[in-house]
A and B are shown apart, each in its own frame.
Chain A
């Protein structure tokens, strides 16, 4: 099923690349949406319960290195893979319907599909080398997405932002590769399940540092606001909704689950960095003028919660990290659709340039932004809350941290929630409220279905969190998750 899903994407990508003239505009986006939807269905069907690894594929690949073409999904990766496919469907839908921003071209859609496929590949990989291959695969397509279809007004800037993004993440993944090598040597295998339990602080640190760039963890985050500021709308959505997840997923799978004893030794640093990120991002958000940069920093804050959660290495924490990742994909995806949509329509995402009174001027944008804002500040009842809650719960349980540190971090992290409230209230006040100042580029949201399609799961997950947490169950920290069936 997983292979079939990847092949569907490959076929669609090849078709789009090979015949860019046949698929123009909406037909390209339509093909992309159809392929992603089919992928979504196939991945959804691949699930056979949390008791075993779903859709496992395990064939020889490189014997000498003991690298195998080994794919499979479990409760941690399955929701993320589904999220990836879901967001890509929405991206293609948005391209077809938004009516602003870059026109959907075949190559653009093809690159999005590559990003999607490689991300799903990362989530599904049960082999370290395969993981890394997929991890790297999406980078160059993403570079093109930002550099070619980014901010149409700032060609040099988007190029620079794209290159920054690439060099930062590649440096990170290079360090990650060294970490993988260390693990492979220590454990003598590249299979995640076999490697599990190896004690190598060096490997855990290298992997954590490498992935910290991707997550991103402060102070390795400075590529993110630039990239988001210049990326096209759907690029931002995938960057935030999917790419950042590669980092958090990697931390869960490769550090917390694969090298638990070693990760426990670096967990305090990770947790502290995560919390610093929460506060730092919250503060910076308070004075951002560019809505897209603001959302980018808010992402960093959310990722801070996720990092804190997984660094506790408790059941609640890891569950929270997964939940936070999925919820962040939906919420920040929505925010980027809206912020990007505004930028596409008006040519700028500057709060001052966009003017005030959006409630009056473009009601759909305004209400959707409000809902997304409420979700991003972690309003209970919306998806964003549970990740934060579980993260605090994990910190309270201490887990891999000692009590004074854990509780200090918990206290500081909660300040981040207030900061989030403040910056959301600030942009609501500056942008949505106020005496309307209509400008002639005003045009309301077109692809409303995309927004609805995101709000619904945000609400559903907010009110029915067990839908997701039940996938993980009590095995999330144990060996049962990956060891089943082997």
Chain B
């Protein structure tokens, strides 16, 4: 039996250290409008351990540390019997460190390192059960797709470094503040590419649902609460470099609008609890981006934190359910209300937060997102008003759909008749309770805009009513089928591009083996032929030799005469 407490203790130590570091920073001035000083430009790539922790960074750090600690505790039960618990637990710690690096650092390279190390941790943890084919496939897909996105960040850093002559984030802010946002469109779109990959937004959204074969605590931690949300954070962090750029903001608004609605619809039609929650995550991440697009990055971060709490709760609860029933298929569930009471109550809070029901934190933060989009329609932000209006409409529709699928999932999981008895290990329920409390406690002090609140609550209630009306029935076929197939958006990424690439690669390989070698092989054959020809003259017949000399003399004379 592997001793598990050292890993929990290690995580706890890191988490406490993060807390001690981050909590005092919560009271600093706001994330934006901060004018840093003392930036030292460097030309050559240099890593520095400088950090720049602002209130929003502190929030995200605390979220990451807290969720990680809870997940680690939870995992002692959930993964306790796993043969590879040690590597699993260590990778979680490594992940936390990388996440903190991304959030806290002032150096773009450290940011990139943390960003990629998170990606690798995600890759390794998705593939934790590498005996299963879908784990391997999901892991590889996650790695390749996110790294494709990461190229955007890489090139963005190249451009930033060249434009502002520094790799310090603060330094770049100063530069952008002093000289205006140079190359804002390019940098913004490149960073957008990166976060679209990392946060699984359209069109790179499909890796996240496929990452679900990983251990559920990992899904809760990495693929819901922290890593995927880091995309939002990083985009916000670098916003001073392109925040005024209409193109970037419009692109972001389009991406987030399309993503939030599509993903919510996909979540509505899933027959698998975990996958539905994964789509829900994609949709909620789009909310955060919508807030940033509307010019309210701090609202986006608030929603990030709140979503981190309730989505971690939901996934961990999902883990308990899966632990109990042995599968994540909704058809196998139902009636768990009585057999898993703690899970039922905490997850109810979680679903309420997801659906945006007062007084959960989800309600408040989502309302602020809606409100900020509404503000953006006044045309005072870089986002064009028309786009903002469209985004607002989509966001409200998504509220409806979100409430509907949250209700549907809740019903299918917990209502109905109990089938058999299950157990909830205490080390799994405590984290749930802690997160449930957090989902309520974080609401304290949140502002409330009554108009928006009323409207959104109405829409959400409509969604809930819709779900209650449909019960477990599917949507009408023409709607259900394409949505269940996720509109075939995965097809290019899983089929066309890999197949095409492999096809081209086979051609290249064949050309490499048989094609390019033509010149050396041809040369060798030619050399062999000439060699035979020259040696064929050596018959030993003297008069042939003398003839060669005579003819040769004639030839060289020709050469001489022609040359003259």
CB atoms of A and B under 8 A apart anywhere in the complex?
Answer: yes
Any A CB within 8 A of the CB of B188: no
Q: Are B155 and A392 closer than 8 Å at their CB atoms?
A: yes
Q: Which of B113-121, B315-323, B332-340, B348-356 contacts A (4 or more CB under 8 A)?
A: B113-121
Closest chain-B Cβ to A8's Cβ sits at a distance in Å of 34
Asked whether B158 lies within 8 Å of A392 as measured between CB atoms, the reply is: yes
Min C-beta distance of A456 to chain B, whole Å: 17
Please state if A386 and B45 are interface contacts (CB–CB under 8 Å).
yes
The answer to whether A393 has its CB under 8 Å from any CB of chain B is yes
Partner of A287, one of B123, B158, B509, B520: B509
CA distance A377 to B144 in the complex (A): 11
CA distance A433 to B112 in the complex (A): 27
Q: Does A381 contact B (CB under 8 A)?
A: yes
Q: Among B47, B113, B136, B501, point to the contact of A422 (Cβ < 8 A).
A: B501
Q: Are B47 and A463 in contact (CB under 8 A)?
A: yes
| Bound: A288/B143 CA distance, A | 20
Q: In the complex, how many angstroms separate the beta carbon of A239 from the nearest chain B beta carbon? A: 18
Within the complex, the shortest CB–CB distance from B18 to chain A, in Å, comes to: 20
Q: Which residue of A lies closest to B159 (CB)?
A: A396
Taking CB as reference atom, which chain B residue is nearest A320? B45
Q: Flag if A389 contacts B512 (CB, 8 Å).
A: no
* B66 on interface, CB distance cutoff 8 Å: no
Asked if B558 CB lies within 8 Å of chain A CBs, one says no
Question: Which of A167, A319, A418, A434 is within 8 Å of B44, CB to CB?
Answer: A319
B499-529 CB mask vs A (1 if < 8 Å, else 0) is 0011011101100100011001000000000
Q: Is the CB of A284 within 8 A of B113?
A: no
Contacting pair A222 B516 (CB below 8 A): yes
Contact at B154–A392, with CB atoms within 8 Å? yes
CA distance A463 to B506 in the complex (A): 36
Q: Are B512 and A464 in contact (CB under 8 A)?
A: no
What is the number of contacts between chain A and chain B, taking CB atoms within 8 Å? 123
Q: How far is the CB of A370 from chain B (nearest CB, A)?
A: 8
Are B44 and A284 touching (Cβ within 8 A)? no
Choose among A222, A419, A421, A435 the residue that contacts B520 (Cβ–Cβ < 8 A). A222
A466/B44 in contact, CB under 8 A: yes
Residues of the B chain whose Cβ atoms lie less than 8 Å from the Cβ of A235:
none
Q: How far is the CA of A331 from the CA of B504 in the complex (A)?
A: 27
Task: Say if the beta carbon of A37 comes within 8 Å of chain B.
Answer: no
- What sequence of 0s and 1s flags, for each residue 426-445 of chain A, a beta carbon within 8 Å of any chain B beta carbon? 10110011111000000000
* B: number of interface residues (CB 8 Å): 43
Say yes or no: A396 contacts B44, CB within 8 Å: no
In the bound assembly, the distance between CA atoms of A143 and B400 in angstroms comes to: 72
CB pair A393–B516 under 8 Å, yes or no, is: no
- Bound Cα distance A429, B142 (Å): 13
Interface SS of chain B: helix, strand, loop or mixed? helix
Nearest Cβ on chain B to A308's Cβ, whole angstroms: 13
Complex Cα–Cα for A6 and B161 (A): 42
Closest to A429 in B: B136
Query: Does B363 interact with chain A (Cβ within 8 Å)?
Result: no
Question: What is the distance, in angstroms, from B401's C-beta to the closest C-beta of chain A?
Answer: 33
A173 to chain B, nearest CB (A): 16
List A contacts of B131 (CB < 8 A).
357, 433-436
CA distance A429 to B144 in the complex (A): 13
Across the interface, B501 reaches (CB within 8 A) one of A283, A380, A421, namely A283
Question: Does B4 sit within 8 A of A, measured CB to CB?
Answer: no
Whether A390 lies near B45 (C-beta < 8 A) is yes
- Is A381's CB under 8 angstroms from B113's CB? yes
How many angstroms between the C-alpha atoms of A315 and B43 in the bound complex?
Answer: 10
A176 CA to B508 CA in the complex, in Å?
Answer: 29
Indicate if B55 sits at the interface (CB-CB under 8 A): no
B130 an interface residue at 8 Å Cβ cutoff? yes
Instruction: Contact check, A379 vs B120: say whether CB atoms are below 8 A apart.
Output: yes
Q: In the complex the two chains form, what is the Cα distance from A230 to B137 in whole Å?
A: 32
Known contacts A379-B120, A390-B45, A429-B140; A396/B509 CB under 8 A: no
Interface centre among A219, A287, A377 (most CB of B within 10 A): A287
A397 to B159, CA, bound (A): 9
Q: Does B271 contact A (CB under 8 A)?
A: no
Q: Which of B115, B162, B505 contacts A393 (CB 8 A)?
A: B162
Within 8 A of B (CB), among A374-429: 374, 377, 379-381, 386, 389-390, 392-393, 396-397, 410, 414, 417-419, 421-422, 425-426, 428-429
Residues on B with C-beta less than 8 A from A381 are: 113, 116-117
Whether the pair A284, B509 counts as a contact (CB closer than 8 A) is yes
Q: Contacts A380-B116, A389-B158, A397-B162; is A417 near B147 (CB within 8 Å)?
A: yes
- A98 an interface residue at 8 Å Cβ cutoff? no
A286 to B508, CA, bound (A): 10
Chain A residues within CB distance 8 Å of chain B: 164, 167-168, 218-219, 221-222, 225, 280, 283-288, 315-316, 319, 357, 359, 374, 377, 379-381, 386, 389-390, 392-393, 396-397, 410, 414, 417-419, 421-422, 425-426, 428-429, 432-436, 463-466, 469-470
Instruction: List residues of B whose CB falls within 8 A of some A CB.
Output: 43-47, 109, 112-113, 115-117, 120, 123, 127, 130-131, 135-136, 139-140, 143-144, 147-148, 151, 154-155, 157-159, 161-162, 501-502, 504-506, 508-509, 512, 516-517, 520
Query: 18 A-B residue contacts at CB 8 Å?
Result: A219-B516, A284-B512, A287-B506, A316-B44, A374-B120, A377-B147, A380-B115, A380-B117, A386-B45, A389-B158, A390-B45, A393-B161, A396-B155, A396-B158, A414-B155, A417-B151, A426-B140, A469-B44
Instruction: Give the 4 A-B CB pairs with smallest separation, nearest first.
Output: A433-B130, A381-B113, A283-B505, A286-B505
Contacts A287-B502, A389-B45 given; 18 further ones with Cβ under 8 A? Answer: A280-B508, A286-B505, A380-B116, A381-B113, A389-B154, A390-B45, A396-B158, A396-B159, A396-B162, A414-B154, A414-B155, A418-B151, A419-B501, A422-B501, A426-B140, A429-B139, A433-B127, A434-B130
